[in-house]
Amino acid sequence: LKFERFPHPDVREYYSAMMKNVISGLNVPVHRANDIDELKKINNDMHLTHLFVGETEYMTDPEYMETIADNMTLVIVCDDGFKALPGSRAKLLYKPFYAFPVMSILNADADAADIRQGRMYCRGVRVLTVDDEPMNLMVAKNLFKRYGMEVSLASSGEEAVSLCAENRYDLIFMDHMMPRMDGIETARRIRAGITGKGAQPVIVALTANAMSTAKEMFIGEGFEGFLSKPIEVAELERVLSKVLPVSLITYETEAYQKDIPDKEAHMPAEDDDMQMLRNAGIDPEKGMEYCLNDTELYKAVLEEFVNDSKEKEKELEEFFGKADWENYIIRIHSVKSSARMIGAISVSDRAKALESAAKENDIVYLNDIYPQFLKEYLELAEAIGSICKAGESNDK
C-alpha cells in the first residue's frame, strides 16, 4: 500500500497513522513493501501468508500479483466496482480500510486451514432471523436453509420475543437497528424470558454498521458473535464454526451438494435486462453475489425493493417532516441496506451519508441533500419496476 503516491502530506500522514493503529491491534508480524521490487525480495526471503495490496499497486503488475495467490492469500483493498483479472483468486476488501475486515480475513483463513474437506452443514439447527427489512429476511431464509437449518423469521423485536416464548432456538441472528425495540433490547428480553426455562440461545448481532467499535459493543451486551450485512458466506461460516458446538456441524462431500448454487450456472446471461440495470446505476453482479448467485432470488429481491419503496418514502417523509431523527435514522439505514443488497452502491452510500448526518444532527446537510436523494431513490425504484415488468413480458 504505497501512501507516497498521495500528493498531500496530511493524507499520507493520516493513512500511515491508520495503518500503524491497525497493525498494532493485530498481534501478527507485518512487513511493508514500498514497490514491486521490494515485494519480490521479501517474498523470496520470507514465508508470507497474506498480501494486502491497493488496487493501484495491484494494477502495476497484476500478472505477478496473481502468481502470488498460488502460495498465499491475496487481498486487494479497493473501491466498489473494481475488477481484478478474469479468474482472479484475490479477495476484495472494499474501502474504508479498518481493523475488523482485516481480522475477519485473517481469522477466516486460519479457520479454513483446519476445516475438513466438504461443504459445511448445520442440519437440524433451529435458527431465528430477526430483521425489519423484508429483503434481508428473504436472503437469510434462502441462505440458512442451504445449510440444512430449520429457519424461522421475525420482522420485529416484539415478534421475536413472542416466538422465543413459544419455541426453542439454537441460534438467533439479530438485526441491530429496528423501530420500537432495537436488537439489543430484544436480546435482553429474550434472555430474561428464557431464564430458568432451559438453555439460552446463541445470539449473533446482524448489522450494516460494521464499525471497528461495533464488535466490542455487542460482545459487551452479551452477544456471542457479530456478522456484518450484507452477509458473506465465508464470514458466516467462520461465525458458525465459532458459536455452534462441533456436534452440530458436519462437512459433506460433493455428492451431497445438490442445493449449492454454482456461480457460473446461475449467473444470468448478459442480456438487455442486465444492461438496463447497469444504466439505472446498479451493479447486478454485486447484487447477485449478495443473493447467493441465485437468479430467481435476485429477481424477487429487486421486486421487493420496488414494492417497499412507497412505504419507505411515506415513513421517511413523515419522520423528516417532524424532525424525528431517531426514527429517520432507522429508516434511512434500512434504505442503505436494501440498496446495497441489490447492488445500487451509489444510492446506498448516499443513504449512509444521510444516516451519519442525522446522527450528528447536521440539519443543513440534511435539508440540502435529502430531497434530491429521495427523488433519486424513487426514480431508481421506478426504473427497476419497469425492468422487472419488461423481463416478465419477455419470459412470456
What are the grid coordinates assigned to 160, written together?
Answer: 421475536
What are the grid coordinates assigned to 259, written together?
Answer: 442445493
Q: List pLDDT tens digits, range 231-251.
A: 888 889 888 988 898 888 988
What is the structure's pLDDT at 394? 61
The phi and psi torsions of 343 (rounded to 5 degrees) equal 95, 10
d(CA 55, CA 91): 12
Q: List pLDDT tens digits, range 276-302.
A: 999 999 999 989 988 888 889 999 999
What b/e readout covers 332-346, taking b as 16+ CB neighbours within 10 angstroms? bbbbbbbbbbbbbbe
d(CA 286, CA 274): 12
The phi and psi torsions of 273 (rounded to 5 degrees) equal -60, -45
Closest-CA residue to 182 (of 146, 132, 108): 132
What is the structure's pLDDT at 198? 61
d(CA 33, CA 19): 13
Cross-strand pairs, 243:
none
Q: Which residue has the cell 475477519?
A: 104
What are the grid coordinates assigned to 312, written together?
Answer: 419507505
d(CA 139, CA 303): 13
What is the structure's pLDDT at 267? 43
Alpha-helical segments (H) within the chain: 9-26, 36-45, 55-60, 62-68, 99-112, 134-145, 157-166, 183-194, 214-220, 233-243, 263-266, 272-279, 284-290, 295-321, 325-342, 345-359, 363-395
The phi and psi torsions of 32 (rounded to 5 degrees) equal -115, 135
For the chain, what is the mean pLDDT? 85
Q: List pLDDT tens digits, range 359-378.
A: 999 999 999 999 999 999 99
Q: Quote the distance between the C-alpha of residue 371 and its chain's center.
A: 27
d(CA 329, CA 178): 10
What are the grid coordinates assigned to 37, written together?
Answer: 521490487
d(CA 40, CA 272): 44
Q: List pLDDT tens digits, range 73-114.
A: 899 999 888 888 887 888 888 887 777 788 878 877 655 544
Torsion angle defined by CA atoms of residues 28, 33, 38 and 41, in that order, rounded to the nearest 10 degrees: 10
What are the grid coordinates assigned to 395, written together?
Answer: 419470459
Closest-CA residue to 355 (of 184, 206, 208, 137): 208
CB atoms within 10 A of CB 380: 21
Q: What SS3 class is residue 392?
A: helix
Q: What is the mean pLDDT of each run of 10 residues along the chain (396 residues)?
A: 71 78 78 84 82 89 85 88 84 82 75 60 95 93 94 96 94 93 94 76 82 71 85 86 88 57 46 85 90 89 95 96 95 93 94 95 96 96 91 61
What are the grid coordinates assigned to 129, written together?
Answer: 432471523
d(CA 51, CA 32): 10
d(CA 29, CA 44): 17
What is the structure's pLDDT at 268? 46
